[in-house]
């Protein structure tokens, strides 16, 4: 493991594992910088990028304590860079979701070519609870979703399950019994 992100290459697959369960795999400047470095490494040595996580949260979005200290600009700018790099990568990008997804975590899913999810995972656009729009993640997630579904889920902030995430175009496919990634 390398800080907040595990980076392991095996058999042509570069596995980037969000590994900061203590802060719910929140997106920090450090985590996003490590993701960019992992993408660089993958594009130089691998055939596939696999994004995974450890803990009870795939990703909770921007680190609110870090946003309070430093402002949102640094995290937002890096998240845009990560999403652009993943979307433009010549490698297939696969995200494996075994735990809850909130806020900025959708940016990683939207930038992925394939998203596989456990069938019991819950999803939620939580930005509305903080009186903000899910603007940064909109770059990649909106084109995957029907517009009325996106508006309803983003504006209500209601929780939804993996089956609805498939219907909304966020998840490619669900699987029963995917192994948990608890630390």
Q: What is the mean pLDDT of residues 17-29?
A: 92
Mean pLDDT of the 53-62 span: 92
pTM exceeding the 0.75 threshold for the entire prediction: yes
- For the chain, the structural domain boundaries read 5-175
Q: How many CB atoms lie within 10 A of CB 173?
A: 11
Q: Which residue has the tokens 């010549």?
A: 90
Each residue of 88-122: pLDDT tens digit? 999 999 999 999 999 889 999 999 999 999 999 99
Please state, as a whole number, how many other Cβ atoms lie within 10 Å of the Cβ of residue 90: 6
CATH class held by domain 5-175:
alpha beta
**Predicted pLDDT at 179:** 62
Residue 73: per-residue pLDDT:
80
Q: Please tell me which residue, 68 or 24, carries the higher pLDDT value.
A: 24
Where is average pLDDT lowest: 24-38, 50-64, 101-115, 134-148?
134-148
Cβ neighbours for 118, distance < 8 A, ≥ 6 positions apart: 97, 98, 99, 162, 174, 175, 176, 177, 178, 180
Assign 3-class secondary structure to the chain.
CECCEEEEEECCEEEEEECCHHHCCCECHHHHHHHHHHHHHHHHHCCEEEEEECCCEEECCECHHHHHHHCCHHHHHHHHHHHHHHHHCCCCEEEEECCEEECCHHHHHHCCCEEEEECCCEEECCHHHHCCCCHHHHHHHHHHCCHHHHHHHHHHCCCEEHHHHHHCCCCCEEECCCCCCCC
3-state class of 6 per DSSP?
strand
β-strand partners of 122? 161
More reliable by pLDDT, 123 or 3: 123
What average pLDDT does the chain have?
Answer: 89
- Residue 172 banded pLDDT, cuts 50, 70, 90: very high
User: Does residue 141 surpass a pLDDT of 90?
Assistant: no
Evaluate if residue 51 carries a pLDDT over 60.
Answer: yes
Confidence of residue 166 (pLDDT cuts 50, 70, 90): very high
User: What average pLDDT score do residues 65-86 get?
Assistant: 87
Give the Cβ contact number of residue 172 at 10 Å: 17
Residue 81, pLDDT above cutoff 70: yes
């Amino acid at each position: 493991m390398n800080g907040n992100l595990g980076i392991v290459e095996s058999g042509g697959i570069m596995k980037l594992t969000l590994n900061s369960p203590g802060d719910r795999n929140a997106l920090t400047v450090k985590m996003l910088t490590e993701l960019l470095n992992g993408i660089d490494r993958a594009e130089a040595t691998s055939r596939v990028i696999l994004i995974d996580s450890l803990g009870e949260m795939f990703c909770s979005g921007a680190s609110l304590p870090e946003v309070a200290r430093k402002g949102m600009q640094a995290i937002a700018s890096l998240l845009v860079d990560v999403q652009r790099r993943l979307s433009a990568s010549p490698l297939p990008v696969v995200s494996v979701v075994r735990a809850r997804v909130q806020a900025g975590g959708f940016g990683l899913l939207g930038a992925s070519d394939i998203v596989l999810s456990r069938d019991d995972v819950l999803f939620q656009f939580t930005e509305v609870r903080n009186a903000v729009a899910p603007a940064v993640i909109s770059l990649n997630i909106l084109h995957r979703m029907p517009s009325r579904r996106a508006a309803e889920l983003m504006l209500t902030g209601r929780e939804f399950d993996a089956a609805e995430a498939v219907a909304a175009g966020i998840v490619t496919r669900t699987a029963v019994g995917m192994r948990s990634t608890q630390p």
